[in-house]
Structure 1
Amino acid sequence: MRFSVLGSGSKGNCTLVEAGTTRLLIDNGFSGKELIARLHSIDVRPETLTAIVVTHEHDDHVKGIGVVSRRFNLPVYANAATHRAAEQRVGQVRERHEFGTGESFTINDLHIHPFAVSHDTADPVGFVVSDGRSALGYCTDTGTITRLIRHHLRNCRALVLEANHDLQMLQQGPYPFPLKQRVLSIQGHLANNDSLEFAGCLINERLRALVLAHLSEINNDPNLVRAEARRRLPTGEGVQVFVAEQWRAGPVLEIEP
């Protein structure tokens, strides 16, 4: 199984996951033209995509789903509340499939388990995606790491995890106070220190590839995240650590079985 974070941040989010002949997109906050360019940059033809699975209805995760679904005949999978909340923004899709939060489903070669996260949307989820040999966890847009999140991500070999903001930069930055409160709430976004503390626990178990994602352009800095990761994460464990970028696709990473 392989994956690539095609872009992550407030301007758009999309991740490609593939196994066998199955290629899924997790979300798509990019225009059709931008998505195609990012897929081509990692040598993937959009005509080979299989489906789109959706975490929640915020624009930076769904605004490009409708056009890509219609153009490439892709079914769209989301829970009922997210479908309803995103309907006006997404528009008509090729096929609409509903899953229940906490209920696993299969798309060809991939088994997907959606689990609840804590964010200010209708019914937000993260995913564990598996090909039966290895598993990728996807968990962004959550204000806290719950026991449920810990349970579902503990056996993942690879993980895309939010590291949205540095607490000091957020508190001293230009956001108005109500927005700062929203980001800091348990239904907001995950701070660097909370993200890395959690990742450190997982590295001591099975995690071997970590992509820190959804960095704020205003309240975070990639170099700061990398430095904190070097300082806080266990060394000598054979773990690859990457920071997802907003403006270009990340590397294609192979997940060890």
Structure 2
Amino acid sequence: MFPEDFVEWASISETKKGRRVIRFAALGSGSRGNAMVVQTARTTVLIDCGFGQRELARRLGRLDLATDVVDAILVTHEHSDHIGGAAACARRHDIPLYMTHGTCSAGLRQGDSADNLDIRLIDGHAPFEIGDFEVRPFPVPHDAREPVQFTLSDGCRRFGMLTDIGVATPHVIDMLSVCDALVLECNHDAQMLASGNYPFALKQRIAGRLGHLENSAAAEILARLDRKRLQHVLAAHLSEHNNTPALAGAALAAILDCDPAWIGIASQDQGSEWRTIS
């Protein structure tokens, strides 16, 4: 169920302003598992589910949520740190799974059965609705079958998410401009990756056009966006071996000309606290 203080506050806000309230939080972000929750007082959406059921319940509990409040799971792509727990969670709690045909095909081929699953195939360019949200998927360059990322809007406010991408396309910039809140991948620092002990082939994959965003590349994307409504920036998918929160925060803060402490960090173990789009 929803925490009473959030429902009460959201109700008061809606009554006063005639608008809905959106809040979001990371349950965890990194190579060992990813999940993001985005919520209004009436709709709760999980973006990715890379944790097993017990761990997911524990992480939701940290935010005073239970798994049975989740209305839908959006899956960005088939890599196990994003889809690993999605089928079991969806099957147990009768939650619909939204994913592209390519993600579904590749994900199920890795061992999940479609039995007793409500799978809703999406077009990577076509918007659709889940409760209070209009969801807009958009394709991204990444080494997966048909990967997408998402924006979610209630008609007044817009949440955007961008992780697991090698390079930004003009379409990505268009989709993420004029967001009120942005979750942005800052996977690695180029120097740390180059001097680290990863195998050369893995370094090439991470730094390649279908890999992950380096801090300066994430900052460049942020610089290209229309940021006039931006209230929150959360750095996500940080490598535990090739990046630090200080480096990621400093790169993004330089673009926004703000204190690096203002940049939120979604960690692997703790995720993040709730952030509310006002």
CA distance in 1, matches of 2:136, 2:171: 12
Greater Rg, structure 1 or structure 2? 2
Q: 1:227 offset after TM fit, Å?
A: 3.2
Q: How do 1:158-169 and structure 2 match up within 5 A?
A: 158-169=181-192
Name 2:34's counterpart in structure 1. Answer: 13
**Are residues 1:156 and 2:156 paired?**
no
Stretch deviating more after TM superposition (80-89 or 119-128)? 80-89
Name 1:133's counterpart in structure 2. Answer: 156
Name 2:16's counterpart in structure 1. Answer: none
Q: Which amino acid aligns with 1:154?
A: S
Name 1:62's counterpart in structure 2. Answer: 83
* Gapped regions of structure 2 (runs ≥ 5): 1-21
Name 2:271's counterpart in structure 1. Answer: 249
CA distance in 2, matches of 1:129, 1:221: 28
CA distance in 1, matches of 2:152, 2:224: 20
**Are residues 1:227 and 2:254 paired?**
no
CA distance in 1, matches of 2:113, 2:275: 32
> Residue 182 of structure 2: SS of its match in structure 1?
strand
Aligned length: 254
Identity of aligned residues (%): 39
Distance 1:222 1:240, change over 3 A: closer
**CA RMSD in angstroms, aligned pairs only:** 1.6
Q: Which amino acid aligns with 2:210?
A: Q
Q: 1:225 offset after TM fit, Å?
A: 1.8
CA distance in 2, matches of 1:154, 1:229: 16
Q: Which amino acid aligns with 2:31?
A: S
Distance 1:129 1:89, change over 3 A: farther
Name 2:7's counterpart in structure 1. Answer: none
Q: Which amino acid aligns with 1:247?
A: D
> Residue 168 of structure 1: SS of its match in structure 2?
helix
CA distance in 2, matches of 1:207, 1:233: 10
Distance 1:89 1:2, change over 3 A: farther
Q: Which amino acid aligns with 1:90?
A: D
| 1:172-194 superposed Cα distances (whole Å, 9 cap, x missing partner) | 11111111111111111000011
| 1:107-159 superposed Cα distances (whole Å, 9 cap, x missing partner) | 11111000011101101111011111101101100001110100000011101
* Gapped regions of structure 1 (runs ≥ 5): none
After TM superposition, what 4+ stretches of structure 1 lie above 4 angstroms from structure 2? none
The structure whose RCO (Cα within 8 Å, separation 6+) is larger is 1
